[in-house]
A and B are shown apart, each in its own frame.
Chain A
Amino acid sequence: MEKATVVIIGGGATGLGILRDLSMRGVKALLIEKKDLINGASSRYHGLLHSGGRYAVKDKEAARECIIENQILCKIGKGCVEPCGGMFTRLDIDDPAYEELWIKGCADSGIEATPITLDEAFKLEPRLSRKHVKSAYLVPDAAIDGFRMAWQLIDSSRRYGGRFKTYTEVIGFDTVNGELRGVKVRNQFTGETYEIGCDIVVNAAGGWAGFIGKLAGVEIGVQPDKGTLIAFNQRIVNHVVNRLHKSSDGDIFVPHGSITILGTSSMSIPDPEDTSTSRAEVENLLKIGEQTFENLRDFRILRAFAGSRPLYIPPGGASGRGASRGFAIIDHERDGLKGFFTIVGGKFTTFRLMAEKICDQICAKLNVTEKCRTAEEPIVPEVSQADKERARKFFPSYGTELAATRLGVERFKRVVERLESDVESRELICECENVTRAEVEEICKEDTIFNIDDVRRRTRIGMGTCQGNFCSFRATAVFADMGGNSMAKDSLVRLREFLQGRWKGIRPVLLGRTLRESEMTRSIYELSMNVTGGEPQ
Chain B
Amino acid sequence: MASTAEEPNRRDFLVIAGNAFAAVGGAIVLWPFIAQMNPDSGAQALASVELDLAPVKEGQAITAMWRGKPIFIRNRTKAEIEQAKTVDLAVLVDNSARNMALPESDPATDANRTKAGHENFLILIGICTHLGCIPKGQAIGDSRGDYGGWFCPCHGSHYDTAGRIRKGPAPRNLEVPPYTFVGDTKIKIG
Q: Do A and B bind each other?
A: no
